[in-house]
């Protein structure tokens, strides 16, 4: 079983004193074949400035898959490849407009961990290490995508260790873009197939390990962990003074549709659903 030992130290982000509220999203899994979720996300980004928080934190898996920053600058292609490249350019343009007025912080997930400095710059986003402590409103909030804490999923943890190695990234990104895009399409088809079986049910997935989460929080001197990845939005009490808050995934094509933003302000943590309750 993988170790539950927390990192020796955590990156820290100190919020400016004038911030009054921040928002969190994760697991939108945006891709060209799901225009419904993209349109909902676009509408949400295009809210009036008066409705926004002071910053937006994207805690991983904003995209279903990211095959390299060069797809934003790739020459025109044909058919499905061009539609996908145009989709990612549209996403980057929306983020660039949003971030011109509201800081956007991006933490990589298990699907978009190859999103690098060039894409961050083109999207107007600032990169965050996983995990990071957000110092805000006089408290320390531990932020993570969450996959590193799902230690019971030993097959995934081995896979994660492999693909997060610089040598693996160099080899993959060294392939031709069209080859990487073909691999991504195959992976998405596999993901869609799993959705129709028990393997697509989040309740069957390995969850965050409570002992590991407590160890991280104690090491970070924080009382609340905010994360995504598991697609099981909830609040879990880890002890009398420790908790973890799980973000919702977004899938506006599901029945019932799902989309939720987490807002943090001086009154506490609030879930803001973007679809009507069934």
pLDDT in the model for residue 1: 44
Record: fold of 11-273: Purple Acid Phosphatase; chain A, domain 2 (3.60.21)
Q: For the range 127-133, what are the long-range contacts, defined as Cβ-Cβ under 8 Å and sequence gap of 24 or more?
A: 128/11, 128/13, 128/57, 129/11, 130/60, 131/7, 131/10, 131/11, 131/216, 131/220, 132/10, 132/11, 132/12, 132/13, 132/107, 133/10, 133/11, 133/12, 133/13, 133/220, 133/221, 133/222
Average pLDDT over residues 268-276: 90
pLDDT in the model for residue 263: 98
CA angle 112, 215, 108 (to 5 degrees): 10
Name the least confident of 108-112, 186-190, 232-236: 186-190
> What confidence tens digit (pLDDT) does each residue in 137-162 have?
999 999 999 999 999 999 999 999 99
More confident residue, 31 or 3: 31
Average pLDDT over residues 65-72: 96
Average pLDDT over residues 23-50: 96
> What confidence tens digit (pLDDT) does each residue in 73-123 have?
998 888 888 999 999 999 999 999 999 999 999 999 999 999 999 999 999
> What confidence tens digit (pLDDT) does each residue in 163-185 have?
999 999 999 999 999 999 999 99
Name the least confident of 68-72, 128-132, 219-223, 274-278: 274-278
On the question of pLDDT at 124 being above 50, the answer is yes
- Please answer whether residues 33 and 160 qualify as being in contact, where contact means their C-beta atoms are separated by less than 8 angstroms: no
User: What per-residue string of b and e applies to 14-31 under the rule 16 or more CB within 10 Å gives b?
Assistant: ebeeeeebbbbbbbbbbb
What is the rounded CA–CA span in Å between residue 101 and residue 61?
23
Q: With a threshold of 0.85, does the pTM exceed it? A: yes
């Amino acid at each position: 079983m993988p170790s539950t030992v927390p990192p020796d130290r955590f990156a820290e982000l100190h919020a400016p004193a004038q911030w009054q509220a921040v928002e969190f999203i994760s697991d939108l899994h945006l891709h060209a074949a799901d225009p419904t979720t993209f349109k909902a996300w676009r509408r949400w980004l295009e809210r009036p400035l008066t409705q926004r928080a002071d910053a937006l934190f994207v805690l991983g898996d904003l995209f279903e898959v990211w095959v390299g920053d060069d797809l934003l600058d790739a020459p025109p292609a044909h058919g499905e490849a061009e539609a996908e490249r145009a989709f990612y350019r549209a996403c980057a343009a929306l983020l660039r407009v949003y971030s011109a007025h509201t800081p956007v912080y991006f933490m990589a997930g298990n699907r978009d961990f190859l999103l690098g400095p060039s894409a961050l710059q083109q999207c107007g986003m600032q990169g965050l290490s996983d995990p990071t402590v957000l110092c805000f409103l006089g408290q320390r909030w531990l932020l993570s995508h969450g996959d590193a804490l799902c230690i019971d999923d030993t097959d995934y943890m081995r896979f994660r260790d492999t693909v997060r190695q610089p040598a693996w990234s160099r080899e993959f990104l060294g392939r031709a873009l069209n080859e990487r895009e073909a691999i991504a399409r195959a992976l998405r088809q596999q993901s869609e197939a799993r959705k129709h079986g028990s393997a697509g049910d989040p309740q069957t997935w390995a969850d965050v390990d409570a002992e590991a989460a407590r160890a991280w929080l104690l090491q970070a001197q924080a009382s609340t962990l905010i994360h995504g990845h598991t697609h099981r939005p909830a609040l879990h009490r880890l002890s009398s003074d420790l908790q973890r808050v799980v973000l919702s995934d977004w899938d506006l094509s599901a029945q019932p549709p799902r989309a939720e933003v987490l807002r943090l302000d001086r009154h506490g943590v609030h879930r803001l659903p973007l679809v009507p309750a069934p």
